[in-house]
Amino acid sequence: MYLKYFSDGHISISTGSLDKPDGLIKFLGHIWIQDTKDGGASDFIPAIRGERLKRWLTEPDEGEEAPAGWKSASSTLKPPSKTDKLYGHCHCRGVKFWISRPGEQSKRAKSPFPDLLIPYLTSSPANPSNEPWWLPQEDRFLAGTCACISCRQSSGFDITWWAFIPISDITLENGEPFRRYFGTQKTYRSSPHCTRTFCSRCGCTIFWDGDERPTLVDVALGLLDAESGTKAGDWLHYQRGRVSFTEFAKNRELITGLEEGLKAYE
């Protein structure tokens, strides 16, 4: 809901928790880009209303600004290998797991609808032949953005970033097969058809777990600890054609900036 700074007592309020943000919020830029290693979301939202956003490596109005396309010297893209493992964990590390590269087992996950790829409310969601839409490339999983009411009000953020991962490709830190609700996770039934999980210590969003597709889970992108950076570009292929549930967005200027930025991103 908010973050309080002990240094001077000021608070930062999560914009996604506001019901009527119009006229209250103006987005000026991205901060702490250096922590992303690869530019993070700043590359997907370079401008709003046609105005370029500021890009600060650390605190706003302090220190060096990051140029477009900035990457840290420690950001490394390696050729994919079948033995690769991607570490995932929350801030306090109460939830820890590993993701493997896609394989034949990944195609055997099941989903009755092509989530994210089409507007769920206005188009047929049927996927009768079970096309593996979650595998847009042989060695990468699909990732995308959501602006739905549930994601916004559950996380406090206007945009939620998800990767769609078959449970066959997730193992626990000790190597055991994936099981639901391990570690410090707590659950919240945000709608009749899905369960969301979060860390009970640090509050981190973990999974979106839909009843219709028990062999496929949405993994919050902020958990992924890729050597290349927060976008995990050597593991994920981003859906750039649309933002899921954009029609429910409250901060329309922000979401429009994201939509435009995704389509222009290379």
Residue 55 lies in a domain: no
> For 94-122, what is each residue's pLDDT tens digit?
999 999 999 999 999 999 888 777 776 66
Region 19-45 average pLDDT: 92
Residue 178 lies in a domain: yes
Residue scoring higher pLDDT (76 or 251) = 251
**What is the pLDDT at residue 23?**
80
Range of the domain at 135: 85-264
Round to whole Å and give the CA distance between 197 and 205.
6
Residue 95 lies in a domain: yes
Counted residue by residue, the chain has a size of 266
Confidence class for position 75, pLDDT limits 50, 70, 90: confident
**Tokens read off for 11:** 């608070």
Round to whole Å and give the CA distance between 203 and 250.
23
Confidence class for position 231, pLDDT limits 50, 70, 90: very high
Q: What is the DSSP pairing of strand 141-146 with strand 236-238?
A: parallel
Region 211-216 average pLDDT: 94
Question: DSSP per residue over 14-51, as a string?
Answer: -GGG-S--TTT----EE--GGGGSS-GGGGT--EETTE
Residue 122 lies in a domain: yes
Strand partners, 92: none
Residue 30 lies in a domain: no
- CATH number, domain containing residue 129: 2.170.150.70
Confidence class for position 217, pLDDT limits 50, 70, 90: very high
Which SS3 state, helix, strand or coil, does residue 108 take?
Answer: helix
**What is the pLDDT at residue 78?**
78
When the pLDDT of each residue in the chain is averaged and rounded to a whole number, the result is 92
**What is the pLDDT at residue 121?**
61
> For 179-194, what is each residue's pLDDT tens digit?
989 999 999 999 898 9
Q: Look at residues 203, 193, 172, 186 and name the one whose alpha carbon lies nearest to residue 14.
A: 203
CB atoms within 10 A of CB 70: 20
> For 122-157, what is each residue's pLDDT tens digit?
666 678 788 899 999 999 999 999 999 999 999 999
Residue 241 lies in a domain: yes
**Tokens read off for 145:** 């953005």
Confidence class for position 22, pLDDT limits 50, 70, 90: confident
Chain CA centroid to CA 262, Å: 14
Alpha carbons within 13 angstroms on the beta-carbon side of residue 160 total: 31
Record the pTM: 0.92
Residue 165 lies in a domain: yes
* Total count of domains within the chain: 1
Residue 125: exposure state from Cβ atoms within 10 A (0-12, 13-18, ≥19)? middle
% of the chain at pLDDT higher than 70:
98
Residue 46 lies in a domain: no
